[in-house]
Amino acid sequence: MPVAFLNFMEVTMNGLMAGVLYALVALGFVLIYKASGIFNYAQGVMALFSALTLVGIMEGQVPFSHLINAVLGTEIHHFGWHINAFFGILFTMVVMVALAYCVQRFVFRHLVGQEPIILFMATIGLAYFMEGLGDLMWGSDIKTLDVGLPQGGSFAIEDLTAGWAAEGARYYGMYIDNLDMVATVVAAILVIALVLFAQYTKQGRAMRAVADDHQAALSVGISLNFIWVLVWSLAGFVAIVAGVMWGAKSGVQFSLSLIALKALPVLMLGGFTSIPGAIVGGLIIGVGEKLFEYQFGPMLGGATENWFAYVLALLFLVFRPQGLFGEKIIERV
């Protein structure tokens, strides 16, 4: 195989894997948007918050330690224990469910039936509140998150692909990040689990029913509050996965919340109401921006990854506003 083609393949693979992470964030948006019509701006911050919490729990950090020390004049920072990743993630899940309950109980229960823009504004407020809360609880320094995921490139793939190039060509194999591969597998499992849950369980069916018609769902005895707590919890779990993956890749820092902005073009491509759409949209954006950078980046002065996704989304908005997989609007004639 010619080297140029192998390079092209490598870029595509890396794009796919970056896309998986975008898709993960977008998935959280879709879940909440479908079930409650709320566009949750805070999804990115939820990923940040869950990653901070996970690090904090695993390191045995005392939450609010700065505040406590400032008020009581004490000097406590750590409980002095270390928890392994499995239990850390379990505790973080509990925290995210509690958060989902609080969000529902103290914010959205009071906003039932309000305009979408008001709900959206509420999520912006929520995003800043959670960012501040995360800061106050766990401190604002950059943390490393080590849940035992493999780091660095995969030698197996490098060795395997090195032989693919033509004899005598200077080719040393593909570089594919181990972490990216793990992320892809985890994301695939997560998505399959979510789809099975939505499709084949009673609560999943109720979730879809609520997404279709709130009033009718209410009338058959489905508790909207329960379902909303459920979807916020699920979105919280998705946020944990996204937070862990991004955190492991580039450290847990506050810029993590900005990945929410990358999810927007993904949603415009895939449609706001489609779980498969979020996945495919994420992959297209991931591959698209990597390939574009590879092919045209040098001509345009580089850094096209910063804007490519948004331009693509803009094109979609013009030509196919419901996205690739947006829910078909059912109209009977």
Residue type, 34: K
- Give the CA diameter of the chain: 72
Q: Are the beta carbons of 232 and 103 closer than 8 angstroms?
A: yes
Q: Which two tokens stand for residue 67?
A: 């505040």
Stretch that binds another protein, among 99-107, 160-168, 213-221, 229-237 (CB under 8 A): 213-221
For the CB of residue 195, give the shortest distance to another protein in the complex, in Å. 14
HEC profile of 220-266: CCCCHHHHHHHHHHHHHHHHHHHHHHHHHHHCECHHHHHHHHHHHHH
Closest approach of another protein to the CB of residue 45, in Å: 29
User: Which of 84, 140, 162, 213 is the binder for another protein (CB under 8 A)?
Assistant: 213
Query: What is the per-residue binding string for another protein in 30-69, x denoting contact by CB under 8 A?
Result: ----------------------------------------
CB 44 within 8 A of CB 127: yes
Quick check: 223 binds another protein (CB under 8 A)?
yes
211 is a contact residue toward another protein (CB under 8 A): yes
Of 215 and 299, CB closest to another protein: 215
Q: How many amino acids of this chain bind another protein (CB under 8 A)?
A: 23
* Inter-residue long-range contacts of 138-143, CB under 8 Å, 24+ positions, other chains counted: 138/52, 138/53, 138/55, 138/56, 138/61, 138/63, 139/61, 139/65, 139/66, 140/254, 142/251, 142/252, 142/253, 143/52, 143/55, 143/59, 143/247, 143/251, 143/252, 143/253
Q: Does 70 bind another protein (CB under 8 A)?
A: no
Asked whether position 143 contacts another protein by CB under 8 A, the answer is: no
249 is a contact residue toward another protein (CB under 8 A): no
> Among residue numbers 110 through 139, which ones bind another protein (CB under 8 A)?
112-113
Taking CB under 8 A as the binding criterion, the range among 67-75, 221-229, 277-285, 306-314 that sits at the site for another protein is 221-229
Rg (CA), the chain: 22
Between 200 and 319, CB nearer to another protein? 200
Positions touching another protein (CB under 8 A) are 112-113, 202, 205-206, 208-209, 211-223, 327, 330, 332
